[in-house]
Amino acid sequence: MKKVSIRVVGSVQGVGFRFSTKLVADQIGVYGIVRNEPDGSVYIEANGDPEKIDLFIEKIRNSPSPSGYVDSIIVEELPSLKIRDKFTISN
């Protein structure tokens, strides 16, 4: 089980980014949360098999939303994150 937090910066709010992220997570079989942050970034927590998490990170890096674009992402592996059993959109 791999658990990561991801901070995504770019054109990621108001472009369907959270919805597209959930679709990708559901397709791959990754669980967690995605939410908009006040600074215009998007925050993601994800857990799952290491190979699935790596694929998920690549999909996020390339922007799951066709209307958005990603300038940068910061990924941290955090074993202390809560294990989630579904992927949800917050706020």
Which of the residues are catalytic?
18, 36
Tokens 């990170």, located at residue: 57
Tokens representing 60 are 């996020």
Look up residue 37 and give its amino acid. Answer: E
Cα–Cα distance measured from residue 44 to residue 89, given in angstroms and rounded to the nearest whole number? 9
Distance CA 56, CA 34 (A): 13
